[in-house]
Structure 1
């Protein structure tokens, strides 16, 4: 049974529009003369989908795709411009840090306020209160006004309230990014419990590893429209192919900036985690698979894979010769380069450059063959978020030597 049914949903905003609520405002606007041109912008247009009871759905897309607007409409915070929505069941949503919390009230008072908004009785909230306080891990601050909370503390309590007050539908936006790695893991576990209990979860995140781990279905929004729906792996692959230039492999090697003698040509490039998934997480290893075609057999080639950061600084330059594969190579083939799990680039976006030499002469060169992202993870296994300003991460072993005796 569909608990959320959306048909031809649209939301229009007017850019540059000003509200004239008083007579003075209206007269001032009138005597200013020519009215300012108002541009219309559709944040959502012709969006239709169904969510069944017990589904855990990941809503993905680039910044500005309409994800947050959709969640605000589903949470009845924003009115749609057109279309129809049918919702069966109570909704608890966590969209922005502090949403639904009164800054002057304490954490305890806000918990009861949110429960009342959801239609729960005081007795029902009391039965859940200890569980909420334990989950948020902030017993000492529950009687402190929320205005004195940090963003992380507010997020902890807001999630604990939303996830423990037994909503039929739980809607979570990207706000979990505020918490540390251990709390994020705890939240994902709680959302899994909610889904297994037969309730419905809608989860928006740019962390594809978290979305893939939690959700079974996906909705991909692109420029305010539904670009794909279905099993999360399929939808995530479509999103990654579209969002990361060159992500589909193959066609980018026919561009005009591919140059060289042509004795060897790159034909395909794939980047994945060691388990084969498209979502690369810090500490999960990295595999680069490239394919090529040559003019003759036994090609005396040398292949290069260079990785650049978002500012186009070269971070790694890896080649087949120093990697233990001196050649010669068959006419057509495929090579794999593996980065181990104890090494990782820091979370962020990177680009890959490919180059091939034959007899030390440039045979092929693809300056920006593919872009990819590395997601944050518990790289060091200590439950903490990565705060590292360096370009890469490496697991090392530290030992304390016994003190040296001075005679």
Structure 2
């Protein structure tokens, strides 16, 4: 049985010159032209660094993408994942024909709609209704076809009250709602969605993912989806491509793709151990006990964090605190063990501190731990553990109230501490 390929990318590469627009100088453009008229290869294709944003590099040229090859079948939902700067957005811009590749070509089997940035393709001076007709015309639809869908688009977007107001007065969330509704309901053969859905609230994200699943299963349309939210990627996609430094490092089953991404970018051991030391007070180990006994943890379930400490001396006011931080190093939860009821290190030796957070209420996503050990009396910090014990919050579909009106990213957590002397 032959495959129904709707999109084929062959040898896609994209080169940029740092700090410049285009090739940067007239001399370089003339050099390219001179090689072209003589039937020779572009001389600048042989130079340039790979797309590693963490290193300085030795060339003014950088390959944002290099030698990308893949095929997408009709009706497939493909997740494209990778760390910031891996080349995801550049690839989607090429697939959306916003920019052209330096080398390679793409073959399409249908019309493409894309949602790359908030407000892309919208005219701020026009009303929401007028922008629906404008975007439909860009997709090649007739006015009659657009009119037959406009009521569904407006209802899905949730912007009915403001549909005849100029888009420039919309919030970013309202703009994304309307833009997604237009892209999804005007029946493109290929729908390309970048991280922009993260701007919307939780209720809309759930609706958007459900709609993408529907148009793929029922409409036989293809979706390319980029996100750093692994729970959304896992829920929506069946196949994944992992990009690293502008190249494809994995193409296959979505679960394996997510695992590849996590292996490269995160410490997923959910445990941290230091080397043995007996001369100074320090953190010996940190462990996250998820309810699923793995890297994953269900939303609204209790989370247990175990911290083992060693002190070679008696401490007057020992203090241990930890932060749960996002993958972007934003502190989300901060808990501090301090007070007479939580005293420890009244003797030398090793102590185990167990912190239990009841019904942890964080949005689905990947989180890490920062742990600190200090003595408040001496105003001295003994040790710290940063970016350890990564774990991912996933949504249990039975908990629909998570998306109820007024739900917050972080509510005050109910936390308890227990202390045990080990030796």
| TM-score normalised to structure 1 length | 0.70
Q: Which residue number in structure 1 is paired with residue 235 of structure 2?
A: 213
* 79 and 287 in structure 1: CA distance in 2 versus 1, 3 angstrom threshold: farther
3-state SS in 1 of match to 2:413: strand
CA distance in 2, matches of 1:367, 1:20: 45
CA distance in 2, matches of 1:271, 1:229: 30
Backbone CA RMSD of aligned residues = 4.1
3-state SS in 1 of match to 2:72: strand
CA distance in 1, matches of 2:150, 2:330: 48
CA distance in 1, matches of 2:189, 2:123: 24
3-state SS in 1 of match to 2:235: helix
Post-superposition CA distance 1:221-267 (Å, at most 9, x none) = 111111212111111111112111x32579x75xxx52236xxxx99
- Mapped contact 1:237–1:278 kept (Cα < 8 A): no
CA distance in 1, matches of 2:370, 2:239: 30
Q: Which residue number in structure 1 is paired with residue 224 of structure 2?
A: 202
Q: Which residue number in structure 2 is paired with residue 231 of structure 1?
A: 253
Unaligned runs of 5+ in 1: 24-36, 291-304, 323-336, 356-364, 396-407
Unaligned runs of 5+ in 2: 27-57, 308-319, 343-353, 374-382, 416-423
* 269 and 74 in structure 1: CA distance in 2 versus 1, 3 angstrom threshold: farther
Q: Which residue number in structure 1 is paired with residue 264 of structure 2?
A: 242
3-state SS in 1 of match to 2:154: helix
Is 1:283 the counterpart of 2:300? The answer is yes
Q: Which residue, out of 114, 126, 139, partners 1:93?
A: 114
Q: Which residue, out of 161, 167, 183, partners 2:188?
A: 167
- Mapped contact 2:270–2:391 kept (Cα < 8 A): no
Deviation, 1:343, is: 2.7
Deviation, 1:311, is: 7.6
CA distance in 2, matches of 1:97, 1:126: 24
CA distance in 2, matches of 1:137, 1:169: 24
Is 1:393 the counterpart of 2:406? The answer is no
Deviation, 1:114, is: 0.8
Deviation, 1:315, is: 3.0
Q: Which residue, out of 68, 83, 96, partners 1:62?
A: 83
Q: Which residue number in structure 2 is paired with residue 403 of structure 1?
A: none
Q: Which residue number in structure 1 is paired with residue 368 of structure 2?
A: 350
Post-superposition CA distance 1:159-184 (Å, at most 9, x none) = 10000011111111111111111111
Q: Which residue, out of 293, 299, 308, partners 2:323?
A: 308
Deviation, 1:283, is: 2.2
Q: Which residue number in structure 2 is paired with residue 179 of structure 1?
A: 200
- Mapped contact 1:98–1:158 kept (Cα < 8 A): yes
Q: Which residue number in structure 2 is paired with residue 370 of structure 1?
A: 388
Post-superposition CA distance 1:139-198 (Å, at most 9, x none) = 222221111111111111101000001111111111111111111111111111011122
- Mapped contact 2:269–2:295 kept (Cα < 8 A): no
- Mapped contact 1:92–1:170 kept (Cα < 8 A): yes
- Mapped contact 2:16–2:23 kept (Cα < 8 A): no
Deviation, 1:81, is: 0.9
3-state SS in 2 of match to 1:177: helix
3-state SS in 2 of match to 1:343: coil
* 338 and 126 in structure 1: CA distance in 2 versus 1, 3 angstrom threshold: farther
Post-superposition CA distance 1:280-322 (Å, at most 9, x none) = 46425547799xxxxxxxxxxxxxx9743448997367xxxx9
- The farther-off stretch of 278-287 and 143-152 is 278-287
CA distance in 2, matches of 1:51, 1:81: 21
3-state SS in 2 of match to 1:202: strand
- Mapped contact 1:155–1:176 kept (Cα < 8 A): yes
- The farther-off stretch of 178-187 and 341-350 is 341-350
Deviation, 1:84, is: 2.1
Deviation, 1:269, is: 8.7
| TM-score normalised to structure 2 length | 0.67
Q: Which residue number in structure 1 is paired with residue 13 of structure 2?
A: 10
Q: Which residue number in structure 1 is paired with residue 152 of structure 2?
A: 131
Q: Which residue, out of 36, 41, 58, partners 2:62?
A: 41
* 14 and 213 in structure 1: CA distance in 2 versus 1, 3 angstrom threshold: same
* 81 and 137 in structure 1: CA distance in 2 versus 1, 3 angstrom threshold: same
Number of corresponding residues: 336
Deviation, 1:386, is: 2.5
3-state SS in 2 of match to 1:64: coil
* 288 and 314 in structure 1: CA distance in 2 versus 1, 3 angstrom threshold: closer
